[in-house]
Every structure is written in C-alpha cells, then in structure tokens.
Amino acid sequence: MNLVEAKNIWKIYGDSIVLENLNFSMKEGEFCTLVGPSGCGKTTFLRMLLGVENPTKGKLFFEGNDYPQEPSDERGIVFQRYSTLSHLNVIDNVIIGLEFESSKFFGKLFGSKKKEAYEKAEEILKAVGLQDARNKFPHELSGGMKQRLSIAQSLVKKPKLLLLDEPFGALDPGISLDMHELLLDIHSKLNFGVVMVTHDISEAFKLGTRVLVFDKVKVDEKYPNRYGSTIVNDIDSSKERKNVKK
C-alpha cells in the first residue's frame, strides 16, 4: 500500500496556479527529496502532505484513505527555522508534544504516563545525540543542536511520515554533514517515510532514495502565474545513496 498518493493535484490561489496536475505516490520508508526553483510550490506541497492545506482540485490519500483534515502525530514537520520553545529545557521541549497529545485540556502528564513520556523522550534524545544536553535551554544550544531538537520533537511521536522543509539550510556546512549522518542513521533504524525539500542538489542525491524535481512544464512570460509546477522528473537515487561513504 502507498503511504501517500496524490492524484491530479492542483493548487490555485486566486488567479495564480501554483501546482498543476501533480501525480505522486510513495511507499512507507521511502526517502523522497524535493528540489525546484523558489516559489514553485514545494512548501505548499509539504503543507498538503502535513494536512494543513487542501488541494484546490484532485485527491490526496494517506495509507489508502482520504487525507486527514488536520495534522496528527502520524505526520511530523521540521522547518528551516527552529520550533523550540525558549522557556522549556531540551527534554521538556520533547515532552511537550506528548503532553498535548495525551491531555489536550490540561497539557500535563501525571504518574506512569509521565514516566513513560520521559523514557520515550530520553530514547529519542539519545538517537539525535542530545542526551547530554537534556537540561539545557534553547538559547544555550548551537544551530545544529536546535535542529536536532526540532527533529526529536517530531520523532518522539513516531510519525509514519516526516516532512522536512530545508531543515539544514541555515546551518554551517560542517554541521549539515553531521545532520546528514544523523538523518540517514535514524531513518535506517526507524524507517519512516520522508519528504524533504532542499535547495542543495548534492544533499538531495545523498539523502534521497528518490529525487523529485518540481518545475513548470509551460511558461507564459506575460502571465507568469498562468501555469503551475508539477513533478517533471522522478529520479531513482538509491544507488548514489548507497555509494555515499559513511
């Protein structure tokens, strides 16, 4: 079964066509990277996969069913900018998502649930290499550490689909390389599906089992918004990925 399927998706804002007749499907555990010019609709597409944006036309399916109309723990997202809460330390930043999940009204966990949540959070902090920073506050973390924390916040909920919108775009090159290792490692262990937007082609081929190229098929120079983008290339990059030295 497909984890995600998009059939003839269109996204139109006013008289501006952003996505045009886009078709896409991915299986669980696939790692799709997405590249394309600025403004071509990559973030818009991710927001649809998260469940916070609807297609104007066409249909989206999650595990064969109609797409859920709201975000859920099955789908997590990490943005370029950090999503950490400054008044909470590292471990509580991870816990907060679980607290909202289990107790929408009170936002607090008690007793055995609390213990379980801390155990889950410790486990995920270890996976992203932040176990020694559990009591630090976001302002005490480097950019790479903050982004590890953002990833931990999503992963603690065990999503089936992780969406990443240029997550390493703001990091120094050396730190990005560490983050690549981290992402490949946790993906191979936890095997969630990934759709990751990047501006960096070599990153796209290094991390993705598939590289999707978004672009317009037709262009009208007088009316730039007349035509939208679609997937113009869907490249199997699993070989390149295996050749990457770790």
Ligand X SMILES: Nc1ncnc2c1ncn2[C@@H]1O[C@H](COP(=O)(O)OP(=O)(O)OP(=O)(O)O)[C@@H](O)[C@H]1O
> Which residues make up the interface to ligand X (CB under 6 A)?
13, 18, 38-44
Pairing label, strands 57-62, 65-66: antiparallel
Contacting Mg ion within 31-50 (CB under 5 A): 43
Q: Residue 49: helix, strand or coil by DSSP?
A: helix
The entry of ligand X, Mg ion, none that residue 89 binds, CB within 5 to 8 Å by partner kind:
none
Sequential DSSP letters for 149-200: HHHHHHHTT--SEEEEESTTTTS-HHHHHHHHHHHHHHHHHH--EEEEE-S-
Residue 13 or 223 with smaller CB distance to ligand X: 13
Number of residues that bind Mg ion (CB under 5 A): 1
Binding of residue 80 to Mg ion (CB under 5 A): no
Nearer CB in complex with ligand X: 78/127: 78
CB of 27 to Mg ion, least distance (A): 25
The residue among 41 and 55 lying less far from ligand X, judged by its C-beta, is 41
The CB-of-122 to Mg ion minimum distance in angstroms stands at: 33
Residue pair 34/45 in contact by the 8 Å Cβ criterion: yes
Q: How far is the CB of 165 from Mg ion (least distance, A)?
A: 6
Taking CB within 5 to 8 Å according to partner kind, which of Mg ion, ligand X, none is near residue 56?
Answer: none
- Angle subtended at Cα 103 by Cα 134 and Cα 108, rounded to the nearest 5 degrees: 45
Residue whose Cβ sits closest to Mg ion: 43
CB of 73 to ligand X, least distance (A): 24
**CB of 43 vs Mg ion, minimal distance in Å:** 3
Residue 107 or 224 having the CB closest to ligand X: 224
Residue 144: contacted member of ligand X, Mg ion, none (CB under 5 to 8 Å, by partner type):
none
Q: What is the DSSP letter of 100?
A: H
Task: State in angstroms the smallest separation of the CB of 23 from ligand X.
Answer: 18
Given the complex with ligand X, which of 41 and 144 has the nearer CB atom? 41
Instruction: Give the CA-trace dihedral at 192, 195, 200, 203, to 10 degrees.
Output: 20
- Tokens linked to 65: 């069913």
d(CA 230, CA 219): 12
When the beta carbons of 43 and 56 are compared against ligand X, the nearer one is 43
- CA nearest 59: which of 6, 120, 121? 6
Instruction: DSSP letter for 138, please.
Output: G
What's the rounded Cα separation, in Å, for the pair 118 and 28?
28
Q: What does 223 bind: Mg ion, ligand X, none (CB cut-off 5 to 8 Å by kind)?
A: none
Residues that bind Mg ion (CB under 5 A): 43
